[in-house]
């Protein structure tokens, strides 16, 4: 069911400072922003996504400590069915199904697996487009 990493997100109390730090480190500016809430960078040949989110929007259980905020989201084709299956297998909801952005189809949810790990799942149109582009390039 997991098709590939879709987005990694980190939370920051000072979103502007975090954006500036990652811009300096990565050598590129974010390609997308929601003022006061979110910055997103696309990295490498696969245009993988790294999002920096205002900590005010972090899930209720997120901690401000190492390992307590970042979530790796795995792309899934059917978010609701995947979430249902995870819950059936004993995971507990960490973040409910949440739509993001301007209606562009980015939807996330996350669970705590039975071992206490946060597992993010996401329907990500960018992942779908990049996967289709890679497949087309291979077949031509």
pLDDT in tens, 87-116: 999 999 999 999 987 788 999 999 988 877
Strand runs labelled E in 76-117? 92-100, 106-112
2-11 pLDDT tens trace: 888 888 888 8
d(C-alpha 90, C-alpha 39), whole Å:
33
Contacts of 29 (CB under 8 A, 6+ apart): 23
Q: Are 38 and 31 in contact (CB under 8 A)?
A: no
């Amino acid at each position: 069911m997991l098709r590939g990493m879709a987005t990694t997100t980190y939370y920051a109390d000072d979103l502007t400072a975090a954006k500036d730090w990652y811009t300096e480190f990565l050598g590129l500016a974010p390609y997308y922003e929601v003022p006061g809430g979110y910055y997103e960078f696309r990295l490498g040949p696969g245009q993988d996504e790294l999002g920096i989110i205002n900590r005010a929007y972090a899930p209720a259980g997120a901690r401000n400590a190492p390992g307590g905020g970042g979530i790796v989201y795995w792309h899934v084709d059917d978010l609701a069915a995947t979430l249902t299956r995870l819950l059936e297998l004993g995971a507990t909801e960490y973040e409910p199904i949440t739509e993001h952005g301007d209606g562009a189809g980015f939807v996330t949810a996350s669970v705590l697996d039975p071992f206490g790990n946060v597992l993010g799942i996401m329907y990500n149109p960018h992942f779908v487009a990049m996967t289709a582009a890679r497949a087309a390039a291979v077949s031509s």
